[in-house]
Amino acid sequence: MIPRAARDTALTLAHGFPILALTGPRQSGKTTLARSLFQDKAYVTLEDPEEREFANRDPRGFLARFDDGAIIDEAQYCGALFSYLQGIVDSRRRMGEFILTGSQQFGLLSGISQSLAGRVGLIQLLPFSMAELNQAGVLPQNLDEDMWRGGYPPLHDRPLSPERWFPNYVATYLERDVRQLLAVRDLALFQRFLKLCAARSGQLLNLSALATDCGISHVTARQWLSVLEASYVVLLLQPFHRNFGKRLVKTPKLYFLDTGLAAWLLGVRDADGLNIHAQRGALFETLVVAEFVKQCFNAGQPADLYFWRDNVGHEVDMLFEAGVRLQAVEIKSGATFVTDWLTAARKWQSFAGEAALPPWIIYGGKESYIREGATVLAWQGLADLPVALAR
């Protein structure tokens, strides 16, 4: 088992909250992490039809079996449990008593916010980060291989290739979630929607154009995109709110949270094919944004990441607040540093003034260094992102 960076965060939260919730995409390792950390607890999954029927018919009787707490897998399948869990943990006042996992934000997080507010420590567990793969000695040394394979655990701890695993993942998990949440009948049309979203990763979201290209209504496109967000397949990166005297773009940018899945949906069937693919730059930007999101989530923090763009095209690929100042991050897939890459960061600094920290440029090369006051970080440096974030 590859050690998870969220391990220490999970143990800390389990000492401070009566319930620990692990949510994230299917097959991201939630159950594996929960069972490895809490081996003394009973385990039950609501994927089991009999257990699910029992929990929905008699929530009190279902929970009465677990005097010492339990790991309840896919807890979103029984919303009635949350109210009963509230009564149990309030009366017993034990920390880390129940561990809940779930792969749909709609069910798990809505149940937590309605019945268990203040009683739950939450971790959002995404597929492996580069730091986790690097620590285990399995991080691909080739950038295209890393982007093509992605971070889903089965592709790193089993002898599986992406072209064999992703078709089954999409059919077995993503489409099943869609059926459960939206009762979509035309799964071929939904897969077309998925592919169109993958082709737009790293771009401003134009929902009307996406709906038109897919042949669905604007309302349907919004619903389907919401399901992809709730299933941790995509992220909408919001624009930064301060305008610094400029008129700003208010549309979010769409990103996949795993480059391997995005690459497969784009028809990339091997790493060599990615090297010359038209979307390579967008996939590299997707990789970098996803790595920052994973670092935030593994630390139990929200991903307060943004981009900045004004109405005449000045843009910063990613932005986050560091204390009272702002860290700008430019993302370039090229393997050789080009001085022109500093232009956008310099323009940003002129707008932000004293609020701007020296910019970072993350690129597809192999060397990291300081150039003209900017930190130039090689792609493999993302495996040491906590160090970079501490600067």
Question: What was the pLDDT predicted at 300?
Answer: 92
Q: What is the pLDDT of residue 351?
A: 86
pLDDT over threshold 70, residue 390? no
**387 band by pLDDT with thresholds 50, 70 and 90:** very low
Neighbours of 352 (CB within 10 A): 19
pLDDT score at 171: 87
Mean pLDDT of the chain: 91
Tokens encoding 279: 């979307």
Question: Residue ranges per domain, the chain?
Answer: 7-124, 130-286, 308-389
Class of the CATH-defined domain 130-286: mainly alpha
48-81: burial string, b at 16+ Cβ within 10 Å, e else: eeebbebbeeebeebbeebeebbbbbbbbbbbbb
207 CB burial (10 A radius; 0-12, 13-18, 19+): middle
* Distance of alpha carbon 276 from the chain centroid: 26
Assigned fold of 7-124: Rossmann fold (3.40.50)
pLDDT tens-digit profile of 140-184?
A: 999 999 999 999 999 998 899 999 999 999 988 777 777 777 777
Evaluate if residue 23 carries a pLDDT over 80. yes
Q: If 0-12 CB within 10 Å is exposed, 13-18 middle and 19+ buried, where does residue 320 land? A: middle
* pLDDT band for position 38 (cuts 50, 70, 90): very high
Strands (E), 16-153: 19-23, 42-45, 70-73, 98-102, 120-124
One-letter amino acid for residue 208 of the chain: S
> What are 120's two structure tokens?
């739950």
Q: Which of 334, 350, 330, 343 is nearest to 372 (CA)?
A: 343
**pLDDT for residue 211 is more than 80:** yes
Model confidence pLDDT, tens digit, residues 212-223: 999 999 999 999
Q: What is the pLDDT of residue 188?
A: 85
* Per-residue model confidence (pLDDT) at position 31: 96
Tell me, what's the pLDDT at 391?
Answer: 40
Q: Which residue has the higher pLDDT, 249 or 235?
A: 235
Q: 90: pLDDT confidence band, cut at 50, 70 and 90?
A: very high
- In this predicted structure, the answer to whether residue 104 has a pLDDT above a threshold of 90 is no
d(CA 10, CA 32): 13
User: How much is the pLDDT for 19?
Assistant: 96
Q: Are 305 and 289 in contact (CB under 8 A)?
A: yes
- Amino acid letter, residue 109: L
pLDDT of the residue at 368: 94
pLDDT of 363 above 90 = yes
Task: Give the pLDDT mean for 328-353.
Answer: 90
Average pLDDT in the 342-353 region?
87
Tell me the average pLDDT across 8-28. Answer: 95
H or E, element range at 223: helix 218-230
Percent of the chain with pLDDT strictly greater than 70: 96
Tell me: pLDDT of 100 over 90. Answer: yes
Q: Residue 184: name the closest of 176, 196, 172, 173 by CA.
A: 176
pLDDT of residue 360: 95
- Please report the pLDDT score of residue 105 as a whole number: 63
Q: What is the pLDDT of residue 173?
A: 79
Distance separating the N- and C-terminal Cα atoms of the chain: 31
Nearest Cα to 235, choosing from 261, 267, 216, 217? Answer: 261
What average pLDDT does this structure show over 303-331?
90
